[in-house]
Structure formats: structure tokens, C-alpha cells
Amino acid sequence: MAATDPRATTTTTTPPAVLPPPSPKSPPKYPDLCGRRRLQLEVQILNREIGFLQEELHSLEGLQPVSRCCKEVNEFVGTKTDPLLPINKKRRKSCHIWRWLGHHPPEVGLNAELEMR
């Protein structure tokens, strides 16, 4: 009789394939709606600022250069004298208030005290 016993037959088995060790899976990526919305708002703000700056540049292109305006102001101010500044500067030793009051300024020091006695 033929051996139909599966144990009796010799079969060649291949060794099991070497699998890499299991690694933890990262969580599924959800869309970052908050970050995306925040970035969109920042881009809108920057675009608005760019628009304001472009408008300002357009308005400034029609103006004269600053150096020309400064020269005109300097020439105008240089030709007119300031009414609050005295024309002749004189050095005075005594204070005018004493002359107005009719007194001499008080002497300071020991000699002045001795002379007054």
C-alpha cells in the first residue's frame, strides 16, 4: 500500500521570508484648515499693503524732488530776517532789571559785607 500519510512524505519547505519589524503608523493627515485660513489672511493683508504702497508711489511720482523744495525753503528763509532775533548782539555785564529798578546788583563776598558796615 502506498503511504498516503502526509507525515510520511518529505516535502521541502522554504524558510519564511524575513519581514521588517512593525513600525508605528503616523496618524492620518487631516487638512490643516486653521493654518491654511491663517496663511490666506496673511497673504490678503500683504496684498492690501502692497496696493497701498503702489498708490503712494504713484502719488509721489508727480511731486518735485525733495532737494529742490529744500533749496526753495532755504532761499526764502535766508532772504528774510527773523524779527525775534536781535540784529546787533551786544554783551552786557549787568542785568537790565537792576537798572530798571534803580538799584545796583548786590555784591557777593566778604569784602562787600565789610564795606557795607
Q: How many domains, in total, are found in the chain?
A: 1
Q: Residue 110: inside a domain, yes or no?
A: no
pLDDT score, position 13 = 66
Q: Residue 94: inside a domain, yes or no?
A: no
Q: Residue 57: inside a domain, yes or no?
A: yes
Distance CA(101)–CA(28), nearest Å, equals 96
Enumerate the H helices of the chain as residue ranges: 33-61, 66-79, 96-101, 110-116
Reading the chain (117 residues) residue by residue, the pLDDT tens digits are: 555 655 555 556 666 677 777 777 777 677 666 788 889 999 999 999 999 999 999 888 877 777 778 888 888 888 877 777 777 766 666 566 766 676 655 555 545 555 555
Q: Residue 72: inside a domain, yes or no?
A: yes
Domain span at residue 73? 32-80
Q: Are the C-beta atoms of residues 75 and 69 closer than 8 Å to each other?
A: no
